[in-house]
Structure 1
Amino acid sequence: MKTIKTTTDLAEFCSRAAETDYITVDTEFLRERTYYSKLCLIQLAFRGDGETDAVLVDPLAEDLSLDPLLDLFRDPDTVKVFHAARQDLEIFYIDHGVIPYPLFDSQVAAMVAGFGEQAGYETLVRKIAKQPLDKSSRFTDWSRRPLSDTQKAYALADVTHLRQIYEFLRKKLSDTGRDKWVEEEIATLMAPDTYVTHPEDAWKRVKTRSNAPRFLAIVQELAKFREAYAQDRNVPRSRVFKDDALVELASTKPKDMGDLGKSRLLLRDARKGDIAQGILDAVQRAQDLPKERLPEPDTSRQSAQVNPALADLLRVLLKAKTDVSGVAPKLIASAADLDALASGERDVPALSGWRREVFGKDALRLCDGQVGLAAKGKQVQIVEL
């Protein structure tokens, strides 16, 4: 098992990899104590005929620049293959401003190709590569050096088996004409906005029970402060204060340090210093907002009247369609999407692209009363009305 620790060695490997059709990629990182992921190891492999066709790259090595790898990531002639790529891509985009292209995500491909919703790497290795996978090193500290042989073997397996998985899935998608479906899904992974959280939008992820405009304004300001603070200091947002504390603060509207001291949910460190002052300033900014500038909740789905019987029929239709197509149901439509369809909304992902072909077209016909559903044995069939 070769570990690359110099730019020269990395350049040599990437030069050989660039002559092939694809390269498999994985990373190991830490994020428990930071806002941004700390890259600790990169695994690379391509289809060759020697032991050096799969290597580990140590990004913590002093004499290593990742520039040769970033150049390979930009090479349009070599497909970059990941499994569950989102977190890996976030690291490369945040740290280096690069999103590997062209891209193939074996998890997405497996969900399209009939491996179900739980298309984990271990499952694919077992079903496609017909190999066991030792996951005992999954939760080790990848920032510590030296790495053990067990850690190295575990890490390398994440890209060596991926070669066979990629070739199998690529052929299956091509044979079934579904390769374009995967390309549609990967377009989201290629979008830079996927990996950037703007502090002013952070409040939209906070779950609240109240839609009162002033309350939402406080939630907005508190979430904005927390996100910016976490980003600036590279600490997890939960280390600043958690969502339940944020909602509590939006309800109690603290005016001074004494009020903060009465909070049941606020962490001790957040009751003093920069965090405490940031909380008070955020609450005050929200309180000072004129009524016309208060945020308005998105009540489009809540206000729409869901037809529960139609929603149940759509669920049955989705199950029937995915049983036939083998596509994972959650990749086509979420429960919220089905409820939206049953309430008359038509701006949902299930009605566009490949989803429309697999499910959306018949879902609209069902909603419009043009077709019904009937059970025949263990199958559900569409009946023209």
Structure 2
Amino acid sequence: MQTITRTEDLAAFCDRAKAAPYVTVDTEFLRERTYYSKLCLVQLAIPGEEEGDAVLVDPLEEGLSLDPLVALFRDTSVVKVFHAARQDLEIFCVDYGVIPEPLFDTQVAAMVCGFGEQVGYETLVKRIARASLDKSSRFTDWSRRPLTDAQKTYALADVTHLRKIYEFLEKKLRDTGRHRWVAEELAQLTDPETYVTRPAEAWRRVKTRNTSPRFLAVVRELARFREAYAQERNVPRSRVYKDDALLELAATKPASHSDLGRSRLLLREARRGDIAEGILAAVKQAQELPKEELPEVQEGRDKAQVNPALADLLRVLLKARTESSGVAPKLVAPSAELDAIASGERDVAALKGWRRELFGADALRLCDGQIALAAKGSKIDVIEL
């Protein structure tokens, strides 16, 4: 198992990869103790069974530059193949300013090809590569050196089996004419904005049932401070304070250090120093905001607006369309979108792109009374009206 520790060796492998039709890529990283992922290992493989066709790259090795890999990622003549690429892409986008292009994500392709929702790599290895994986090294500390042989074997398997999986799925997409479907799904993954976390928007991830604008304003300012603090110091946001503590603070609205001392959920470290000062300043700022600057409450869909019978018919239509195409129903239209369509909404993903071709166009026709559904044994037929 070759582990690359010198820039010139990485450049030599990347030069070989530029002559190949594709390169499979995976990473191992740590994020438990930091805000940003710490890249600990990169695995690469090109087509072939010879020694050196699959390598490990050690980014923790002093003096090793990943510039040759960045150049390979920018070479559009070579397809970069990942499985469940989002976290890998975030690392390369944030740390190196590059998103591999063109990109192929085998998890996305597998969902389009009928392997179910959020299908795991181990499942594809078993079903396509006819092999098994030893997952015992999955949760090891990838920042420690030297790596064990078990770690190296595990890491390489994540790109060697990926070659067969990619070739199988790529052929299936070609045979079914669904390459464009995958391209639409990958658009968000390849958008750099996907990997930008703005402190001002961090509050939208905090789940609460309290829709009071003033309460939400405190949540917003506390979440903004926490995100900015975590980013600046590269620590997990939960190390600043967790969501339950944030919501407690938004409810109690502490105005002094003694108020913070009465919190049940706030970490001891957050009751003093910069974090304590940040909390008090955030609460004070939210309390002083004029009414027009308070967050707008997102009104939920009124259940009375949803036609339950129509929603049920849409579910039947979806089941019929996805069974015949082999695509996971939730990939096409989750339950909330079906209810949205039944309530009259039209700006939903299920009515756009490849989803519209597969399901959305008929869904609109069903809503407009242009078609009906009929059961014929175990099959659902669409009847023109």
TM range (shorter): over 0.9
Partner of 2:301, secondary structure, is helix
**Structure-1 separation of matches of 2:59 and 2:221:** 37
Residue in structure 2 matched with residue 374 of structure 1 by the alignment: 374
For residues 96-154 of structure 1, give each alpha carbon's deviation from its aligned partner in whole angstroms, at most 9, with x where no partner exists.
11000000000000000111114111111111111111111111111111111111011
Partner of 2:52, secondary structure, is helix
**Structure-1 separation of matches of 2:97 and 2:21:** 24
**Which structure 1 residue ranges, 4+ long, deviate > 6 Å from structure 2?**
none
Structure 1 gaps, min length 5: none
Residue in structure 1 matched with residue 278 of structure 2 by the alignment: 278
Partner of 1:35, secondary structure, is coil
Give the C-alpha shift of residue 62 in structure 1. Answer: 0.5
After the TM superposition, which residues 8-87 of structure 1 pair with which residues of structure 2 at under 5 Å, given as runs?
A: 8-87=8-87
Residue in structure 1 matched with residue 296 of structure 2 by the alignment: 296
After the TM superposition, which residues 87-166 of structure 1 pair with which residues of structure 2 at under 5 Å, given as runs?
A: 87-166=87-166
**Structure-2 separation of matches of 1:95 and 1:44:** 18
Partner of 1:338, secondary structure, is helix
**Structure-1 separation of matches of 2:302 and 2:67:** 49
Give the C-alpha shift of residue 317 in structure 1. Answer: 2.0
**How has the CA–CA distance of structure 1 residues 377 and 307 changed in structure 2, closer, same or farther, with 3 Å as cutoff?**
same
After the TM superposition, which residues 222-233 of structure 1 pair with which residues of structure 2 at under 5 Å, given as runs?
A: 222-233=222-233
**Structure-1 separation of matches of 2:308 and 2:273:** 51
**How has the CA–CA distance of structure 1 residues 189 and 271 changed in structure 2, closer, same or farther, with 3 Å as cutoff?**
same
Give the C-alpha shift of residue 207 in structure 1. Answer: 1.1
**Structure-1 separation of matches of 2:362 and 2:58:** 51
**Structure-2 separation of matches of 1:93 and 1:303:** 41
**Structure-2 separation of matches of 1:252 and 1:125:** 51
Deviates most, 65-74 or 123-132: 123-132
Partner of 1:275, secondary structure, is helix
- Counterpart code for 2:39: L
Partner of 1:274, secondary structure, is helix
**Structure-1 separation of matches of 2:303 and 2:366:** 22
**How has the CA–CA distance of structure 1 residues 280 and 302 changed in structure 2, closer, same or farther, with 3 Å as cutoff?**
farther
Deviates most, 294-303 or 44-53: 294-303
**Structure-2 separation of matches of 1:82 and 1:165:** 10
Give the C-alpha shift of residue 181 in structure 1. Answer: 0.5
What TM-score do the two structures reach when normalised by structure 2? 0.97
- Counterpart code for 1:367: C
Partner of 1:189, secondary structure, is coil
Give the C-alpha shift of residue 213 in structure 1. Answer: 1.1
What TM-score do the two structures reach when normalised by structure 1? 0.97
**Structure-2 separation of matches of 1:352 and 1:304:** 25
**Structure-2 separation of matches of 1:64 and 1:41:** 12
**Structure-2 separation of matches of 1:304 and 1:156:** 54
- Counterpart code for 2:331: L
Structure 2 gaps, min length 5: none
For residues 17-46 of structure 1, give each alpha carbon's deviation from its aligned partner in whole angstroms, at most 9, with x where no partner exists.
100110000000011111111100000000
**Structure-2 separation of matches of 1:261 and 1:244:** 16
For residues 311-343 of structure 1, give each alpha carbon's deviation from its aligned partner in whole angstroms, at most 9, with x where no partner exists.
222222222221111112222122221221121
1:310 matched to 2:307: no
Give the C-alpha shift of residue 369 in structure 1. Answer: 2.5
Question: Percent identity between the aligned chains?
Answer: 73
Residue in structure 1 matched with residue 269 of structure 2 by the alignment: 269
**Structure-2 separation of matches of 1:94 and 1:33:** 17
- Counterpart code for 1:80: K
Residue in structure 1 matched with residue 237 of structure 2 by the alignment: 237
**Structure-1 separation of matches of 2:368 and 2:300:** 21
For residues 159-191 of structure 1, give each alpha carbon's deviation from its aligned partner in whole angstroms, at most 9, with x where no partner exists.
001111111100100110001100111111100
Residue in structure 2 matched with residue 339 of structure 1 by the alignment: 339
Deviates most, 321-330 or 154-163: 321-330
Give the C-alpha shift of residue 264 in structure 1. Answer: 1.9
For residues 196-226 of structure 1, give each alpha carbon's deviation from its aligned partner in whole angstroms, at most 9, with x where no partner exists.
1100001111111121111111111111011
Residue in structure 1 matched with residue 361 of structure 2 by the alignment: 361
- Counterpart code for 2:11: A
- Counterpart code for 1:126: K
**Structure-2 separation of matches of 1:377 and 1:331:** 26
- Counterpart code for 1:274: D
**Structure-2 separation of matches of 1:302 and 1:289:** 30
Residue in structure 1 matched with residue 3 of structure 2 by the alignment: 3
Partner of 1:52, secondary structure, is coil
**Structure-2 separation of matches of 1:304 and 1:291:** 30
Partner of 1:188, secondary structure, is coil
**Structure-2 separation of matches of 1:100 and 1:118:** 21
1:383 matched to 2:379: no
**How has the CA–CA distance of structure 1 residues 360 and 18 changed in structure 2, closer, same or farther, with 3 Å as cutoff?**
same
Give the C-alpha shift of residue 281 in structure 1. Answer: 0.5
- Counterpart code for 1:314: L
Partner of 2:305, secondary structure, is coil
Let me know the Cα RMSD of the aligned residues. 1.3
**How has the CA–CA distance of structure 1 residues 32 and 304 changed in structure 2, closer, same or farther, with 3 Å as cutoff?**
farther
Residue in structure 1 matched with residue 187 of structure 2 by the alignment: 187
Deviates most, 294-303 or 169-178: 294-303
Give the C-alpha shift of residue 300 in structure 1. Answer: 5.9
